[in-house]
Structure 1
Amino acid sequence: MQVLTRESLPLGGFAGLTEHRLVTDSRVFAGRKAPDTFEGIGNFVYLADAQFNPMGETHMHPHKEIDVITIMMDGRISHEGSLEHGQSLVAGEAQVQRAGGEGFEHNEVNPDMTKNRLLQLWVLPDEFGEPAGFKHYTVQQGVTRIYGGNKTQTEVFYSSTIIDIVRLRAGEIFTSNNDVLVYVSKGDAILTDGGAYYDASEGSLVRSENIRIEASNDTEVVVVTVAAP
């Protein structure tokens, strides 16, 4: 088990937000990979835990051939751009924007006078040239799959890389026998992998091959894994 904590990394950011970058994969960040950050898993290449300043925004910018996933933790953002312009995102919701071959432009705006908090993840596509698209999710108790799966699962974008948001109450357990990256986005949990043990709090990123997660209180984790071939 490998562990990286949000607080061990420098605070960066751009435009109207500040962020801790925990995953900066060399396939995307070659030559400018942030020190001490993890590589990704599967086609997952980027993870940032971010806060928008009051009334802050990213400003309009493009993406192409990458899938951009936003998980709202606190507050809200207003979404502007070529996909689902005007869609809002509040705490407990997630959006996935597939840039595909045609690409998209977007701007995320904090409409409030207080800071918010969100996670942003990037995944490279399994297939290039896909049409751009947008999906919106409300996170449920238990496991909410927001990304990945086979082409018959129309509720999520196809990918061999899978992203689940897992909400656990105190004492509840989640296990995975696959290679995983787990990010504790809220709460506290006891993570075990064979003989290894880690008492994880919010902001802990763990790489494991066989993990057991037991929630110490109301906990939310993001689990990234790769589908079996």
Structure 2
Amino acid sequence: MKAIYYKASERGHANHGWLDAWHSFSFAGFHNPEKVHFGALRVLNDDMIIGGRGFGMHPHDNMEIVTIPLSGDLEHSDSMGNTGAIGKGEVQIMSAGTGIYHSERNKNIDKALRLLQIWVFPKLRDIQPRYDQRAFPVEGRKNQLQTIVSPLDGQDGGMGINQDAWFSLTNLEQGKELNYTVKLLTNGIYVFVIEGEAEINGQVLGRRDALGISETNEITIKANTDSEILLIDVPMSF
């Protein structure tokens, strides 16, 4: 088993006033040659956007983009004709494929928007762009794993992604423990603690800490406090 500990305080950080962003991997002005990607996982940005502000129309191509609001409401518009808003308990995914434009902004004037945005390298390039969003009931992840993203065949109940990747969320109560079996032998698992403190195979992780694990088929998660945890199961080579 190989494990890489990603300490929250060692992430890249950029505060633009309207945007306070933490980068788990090299992004924009933050570059660390040891933190470019974890397998097919390329970006994990932890963003706070003040009321009424956001990103204007901008392009993407050949990237799988997953957005998970943590609080507040994200207003979205794109060149595929999709418009709307998502909040906590909902997840959005886009396959940028041959190319899209989209905008993202805080729908509310009076409160901040907090979200995770995650990019995964695609399995197939230059596919037709795709968009999906879905609500996942929070009670469905209490002391258990809730799959929110899974490969396009849709057999695991998550929204389809153009990659052999699975995203799961769990809200573990203090003292609770669960095991996660890696989906493919060639995959690794990136565990990101959104809130709380947990032990992953004996490694203690605090709020916003992460652990990248490969060359194993199972991990054990134990909550030292009530914890909210994201698991990203991705190919290590692609």
TM-score bracket for the superposition, by shorter chain length: 0.7 to 0.9
> How far is 1:174 from its partner?
2.8
- One-letter code of the match for 1:68? I
> TM-score by structure 2 length?
0.80
1: distance between equivalents of 2:223 and 2:194?
12
Change in CA separation of 1:133 and 1:14 when aligned onto 2, cut-off 3 Å:
farther
2: distance between equivalents of 1:19 and 1:5?
16
2: distance between equivalents of 1:67 and 1:49?
17
Residue of structure 2 equivalent to 1:207? 212
Q: 2:199 aligns with which of 186, 190, 205?
A: 190
1:43·1:126 contact (CA, 8 Å) conserved in 2? no
Q: Secondary structure at the match of 1:171?
A: coil
- In structure 1, stretches of 5+ residues that fail to align are none
- In structure 2, stretches of 5+ residues that fail to align are 183-187
Determine whether 1:166 maps to 2:170.
yes
Residue of structure 2 equivalent to 1:19? 21
Residue of structure 1 equivalent to 2:77? 80
Change in CA separation of 1:208 and 1:227 when aligned onto 2, cut-off 3 Å:
closer
Query: What is the RMSD computed on CA atoms of the aligned residues?
Result: 2.7
Change in CA separation of 1:132 and 1:188 when aligned onto 2, cut-off 3 Å:
same
2: distance between equivalents of 1:5 and 1:122?
20
2: distance between equivalents of 1:181 and 1:200?
12
Residue of structure 2 equivalent to 1:110? 106
1: distance between equivalents of 2:15 and 2:62?
23
* Percent identical: 20
1: distance between equivalents of 2:236 and 2:34?
26
> TM-score by structure 1 length?
0.83
What is the number of equivalent residue pairs in this alignment?
219
Q: Secondary structure at the match of 1:137?
A: strand
> How far is 1:16 from its partner?
4.0
Deviates more, 1:197-206 or 1:71-80: 197-206
> How far is 1:54 from its partner?
2.1
- One-letter code of the match for 2:203? Y
Change in CA separation of 1:134 and 1:150 when aligned onto 2, cut-off 3 Å:
closer
